[in-house]
Amino acid sequence: MKRLLAALAAAILLAVQPAHAQSILRDAETEKLLNDMSAPLITAAGLRPRDVRIVLVNDDSINAFVAGGQMVFVHTGTLQAATSANEVQGVIAHELGHIAGGHVPLAGGAMKEATGITLLSLLIGVAAIAAGGGEAGAGVMAAGQQAAMGRYLAFSRAQEASTDAAGAKYLSAAGITGKGYLSFFKKMQQLEYRYGITRKVEFLLDHPVSSERIANLTETMEKDPAWAHAPNADLESRFKRVQAKLDGYLLPPAQALQKYPESDQSLRAHYARAYAYHRSGYPDKADAEGAALLRAQPDDPYFQEIVGQILLEAGKPKAALAPLKAATDGSRSDPLIATTYGHALIATEDPSHYDEARRILRIAVARDDQNPFAWQQLGTIYELTGDDARAALATAERASMTGDPRTAVARARYAMAGIPKNTADWIRAQDIAMTAQDLVDKDKKKKK
């Protein structure tokens, strides 16, 4: 079973991984933080927080961009280079300005042609974790074939100037100080002076930071009442924690361990070292760091999550169950955490856990239906429990999201034949069959 899961994961990764795969990083704690940091800015921009997605791109260069629709892409390198959450809020406010200013094509055909990017094509792929494997970082997903993210949208000077002003306006309306916005721009300018434009600071290609831009922003923001507001202390401390966690996940382990030496007994350092030790093959040390986190804050769902994830990836799914259940409950069934818990339940290969796995994975896909890995796990549990029709439905969901309408039609029709008519699952299968059939027909017309 373990081998089967690993083989499945490998097969899917191979199928979708383009030559220069850019990947997105999905992490419950980081996504929640970015959402909380952005929500007041999104509202100030006249948009709805639930319509806008902040997507974290696993890339150590400094960049943020919009690519059509209401999606803001932020490189992990931007979070690592920022001194504060407030700086990242400045970057996000600016990008929202491009969306609200209509500088990006709306969702749909025009957008797809302009950028080749849709969120769904980005979400293709699976977390490269297979119980017992543990060779790859969990939560890092391969990006889709179509996600040629090198093709950013370019904006004119006039658009940049109006977007700078829009960003300042949203910060002001949200009562958030513009000091971070300004200091991040200044940081970019210094990097440019020092190194010129390099891959590490791609942000500059899109946003050449001139002294004029900085002067204009300074003038607007310094006289704004929000300028004097202190940054939100809760967001700032969560941001420091997330930075340490990302260091543990993403830096070469030796470098992470150098940045957070054993002598550093802060929670952040324990957090960074837990995953860094796990990645460098010191399971006992990784467990000890996890234990230190839980001693300090036993009810923290994200500490429970990392402890469980490390155990799962170390091939100990049974031991991972208790912390992952605590993490799932503590995060009120965050879909990403629930998916990891469901994966662990399946990986125990103990049929007495299958009902719980099915229950929790159904909750996960109900909350976030754009996670192909969750659909894959749900399909696996249906298969294991002999529910071929719903296994087919899960495959249809995954196929429709990964741009394979033919498979989606076939599996959705198979599902409809085996699921009681007019139930929620049957109606969902019918929807997929019709939508996917439409795509197949359009594709046929194009080829004529």
Cβ distance to Zn ion smaller for residue 53 or 207: 207
**Contact pattern for Zn ion over residues 355 through 384, marking x by CB under 5 A:** ------------------------------
Per-residue mark of binding to Zn ion, 399-438 (x: CB under 5 A): ----------------------------------------
Q: How far is the CB of 27 from Zn ion (least distance, A)?
A: 26
Query: Between residues 27 and 87, which has the closer beta carbon with respect to Zn ion?
Result: 87
Radius of gyration for the chain, computed over Cα atoms and rounded to the nearest angstrom: 23
Nearer to Zn ion (CB atom), residue 76 or residue 163:
163
CB environment 57-88: b (16+ within 10 A), e (fewer) = bbbebbbbbbbbbbbbbbbbbbbebbebbbbb
Q: Which is nearer to Zn ion, 93 or 307 (CB)?
A: 93
State the minimum distance, in angstroms, from the CB of residue 250 to Zn ion: 25
Site map 192..211 versus Zn ion, x via CB under 5 A: ---------------x----
Burial (Cβ within 10 Å: 0-12, 13-18, ≥19) of residue 206: middle
Closest CA to 396 of 428, 349, 421: 428
Taking the complex as a whole, the smallest distance from the CB of residue 159 to Zn ion amounts, in Å, to 7
Distance CA 110, CA 124 (A): 21
Closest approach of Cβ 156 to Zn ion, in Å? 10
Centroid of chain to Cα 265: 29
Which lies closer to Zn ion via its Cβ, residue 163 or residue 400? 163
Report, in Å, the least distance between residue 76 CB and Zn ion. 19
- The C-alpha atoms of residue 242 and residue 32 are separated, in whole angstroms, by 11
Q: How far is the CB of 163 from Zn ion (least distance, A)?
A: 5
Select the span of 159-167, 195-203, 244-252, 363-371 touching Zn ion (CB under 5 A): 159-167
Q: Which two tokens stand for residue 220?
A: 């607007």
The values of phi and psi at residue 318, to 5°, are -65, -45
Choices 56-64, 100-108, 157-165, 284-292; region in contact with Zn ion by CB under 5 A: 157-165
Binding residues for Zn ion restricted to 295-354, rule: CB under 5 A: none
Q: Is 329 helix (H, G, I), strand (E, B) or coil?
A: helix
Residue 160 CB, nearest distance to Zn ion (Å)? 5
Q: How far is the CB of 102 from Zn ion (least distance, A)?
A: 13
Q: Phi/psi class of residue 102: alpha, beta or left (left: φ > 0; alpha: ψ in -120 to 50)? A: left
**Exposure of 392 in the CB half-sphere (CA atoms within 13 A):** 20
What character string, x for contact with Zn ion (CB under 5 A) and - otherwise, covers 162-181?
-x------------------
For residue 25, the SS3 value is: strand
Q: Where are the beta strands (DSSP E) in 125-267?
A: 140-142
Token pair of 200 as six digits: 């590490």
d(CA 278, CA 309): 10
Give CA angle at 40 (35, 41), nearest 5°.
Answer: 90
Q: Which is nearer to Zn ion, 210 or 435 (CB)?
A: 210
CB contact set of 209 (below 8 Å; sequence gap of 6+): 185, 186, 188, 189, 192
Q: Whole-number minimum distance, CB 319 to Zn ion, in Å?
A: 47
Smaller CB separation from Zn ion, 203 or 341: 203
Question: Considering beta carbons, is residue 28 or 100 the nearer one to Zn ion?
Answer: 100
User: Alpha helices, DSSP H only, in 2-139?
Assistant: 2-16, 28-44, 76-81, 85-100, 109-115, 119-123
How many binding residues for Zn ion (CB under 5 A)? 2
Q: Which is nearer to Zn ion, 188 or 314 (CB)?
A: 188
- Give min distance, CB of 235 to Zn ion, in A: 23
Q: 72 or 310, CB closer to Zn ion? A: 72
Query: In sequence order, what are the beta bridge partners of 65?
Result: 73
207 vs 398, which CB is nearer to Zn ion?
A: 207
Pairing type for strands 140-142 and 23-25 reads antiparallel
Choose one: 158-166, 196-204, 330-338, 421-429; the region binding Zn ion (CB under 5 A).
Answer: 158-166
Identify which range of 161-169, 268-276, 361-369, 382-390 contacts Zn ion by CB under 5 A.
161-169
Q: In the complex, what is the shortest distance from the CB of residue 223 to Zn ion, in angstroms, rounded to a whole number? A: 23
- Which positions lie near Zn ion, rule CB under 5 A? 163, 207
